[in-house]
């Protein structure tokens, strides 16, 4: 279900619609403001969404719509911040920096297309036809790039343009295979051990929800061949990835490029208060979304993974509801 906070955001919604139409995914369209028509949005989420697997919320300015939707459901909510003012940074931060218990996967500013692609990846977790179509689409990107390259050459290449010769070099041979426990559903990855506190929050929350996960450290820049080999080793086994990364977050982008399964990203504070990590993680190009959480939001990353898995796993759904209800209890007033 695509919900717009304002009818004026229809052009952003159109990007999502185009993807869903191409992927043959059924969808609904609603317009409801989190502030001006709160009862309307509450009614839509509670009473009109039994058939819905994923929500896409499109909103600018304060952009509270995704959070309000997430507060009324345990299904995955994808936020698309709109460039209404401040170049959309206000909406972006409002969408990512959610409270514990109401996780929202945020896309780049105005990236309605990536919201739809992530929705397809989530649906594909339990739909092999959609999964295969995503793989086919990804394979088609190379042909599009070749067409774009030929076009660029025809437009700007001058008399000194010279095509470099192709010389085949053997790839790095990596004998070690990444092996996970057979019941592992979520693979957590980070580029170093500096974010162990956040990783611990993720694993602890997943353990509480009885979701089997494993954690590995690997660098996308120091050992890119090893990362590629490891993702190939386990991609048919795990259902989704959680990536914890700081600085330019090359790791999350690299993993997104190697899989069509959902990748949940947790940007971490380091330099410039973590804004570098957040922006480089969330502002992905079309077709390769990262489900970006708030800064250091390890627990919400785990809860978002649970929301995805709970679509088709009743045991996780029950555990998630129980966990969420426990968060809502206020010990000061009991």
Length of the chain: 334
Both structure tokens of 73: 């459901």
Give the residue numbers of the binding site for substrate: 6, 9, 36, 222
User: CA 262 to CA 279: how far, in whole Å?
Assistant: 19
Give the residue numbers of the binding site: 6, 9, 36, 222
Q: Which long-range contacts (C-beta less than 8 Å, at least 24 apart) are formed by 6-9?
A: 6/31, 6/33, 6/59, 6/60, 7/31, 9/58, 9/59, 9/60, 9/82
Q: How far is CA 181 from the centre of its chain?
A: 24
Both structure tokens of 128: 């092999």
Ranges assigned E (strand) in the chain: 2-4, 29-31, 55-60, 77-82, 105-106, 186-190, 213-217, 240-245, 263-267, 291-292
Q: In what order do the strands lie in the sheet with 213-217?
A: 29-31, 2-4, 55-60, 77-82, 105-106, 291-292, 263-267, 240-245, 186-190, 213-217
Assess contact for 302 and 185: CB atoms under 8 A.
no
Q: From residue 76, how far is each of 42, 102, 113 by CA, in Å?
A: 16, 10, 17
Q: What's phi and psi for 190, nearest 5 deg?
A: -140, 160
User: CA 79 to CA 109: how far, in whole Å?
Assistant: 9
Q: From residue 11, how far is each of 6, 7, 16, 114 by CA, in Å?
A: 11, 9, 9, 14
């Amino acid at each position: 279900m695509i919900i717009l906070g304002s009818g004026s955001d229809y052009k952003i919604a159109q990007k999502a619609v185009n993807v869903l139409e191409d992927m043959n995914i059924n969808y609904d369209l609603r317009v409801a403001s989190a502030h001006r028509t709160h009862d309307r949005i509450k009614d839509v989420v509670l009473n009109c969404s039994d058939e819905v697997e994923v929500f896409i919320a499109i909103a600018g300015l304060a952009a509270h719509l995704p959070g309000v939707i997430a507060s009324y459901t345990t299904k995955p909510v994808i936020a698309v911040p709109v460039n209404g003012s401040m170049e959309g940074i206000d909406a972006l931060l409002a969408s990512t920096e959610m409270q514990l218990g109401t996780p929202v996967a945020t896309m780049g500013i105005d990236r309605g297309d990536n919201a739809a692609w992530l929705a397809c990846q989530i649906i594909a977790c339990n739909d092999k036809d959609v999964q295969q179509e995503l793989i086919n689409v990804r394979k088609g990107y190379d042909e599009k790039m070749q067409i774009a390259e030929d076009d660029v050459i025809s437009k700007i290449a001058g008399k000194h343009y010279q095509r470099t010769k192709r010389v085949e070099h053997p790839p790095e041979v990596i004998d070690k295979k990444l092996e996970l426990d057979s019941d592992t559903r979520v693979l957590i990855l980070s580029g170093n051990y500096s974010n162990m506190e956040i990783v611990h929050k993720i694993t602890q929350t997943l353990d509480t929800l009885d979701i089997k996960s494993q954690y590995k450290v690997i660098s996308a820049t120091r050992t890119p061949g090893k990362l590629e080999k490891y993702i190939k080793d386990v991609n048919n086994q795990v259902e989704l990835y959680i990536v914890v990364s700081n600085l330019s977050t090359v790791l999350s982008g690299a993993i997104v490029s190697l899989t069509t399964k959902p990748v949940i990203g947790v940007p971490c504070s380091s330099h410039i208060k973590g804004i570098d990590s957040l922006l480089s993680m969330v502002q992905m190009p079309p077709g390769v979304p990262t489900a970006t959480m708030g800064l250091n939001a390890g627990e919400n990353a785990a809860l978002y993974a649970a929301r995805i898995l709970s679509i088709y796993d009743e045991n996780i759904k029950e555990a998630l509801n129980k966990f969420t209800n426990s968060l809502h209890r206020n010990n000061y007033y009991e």
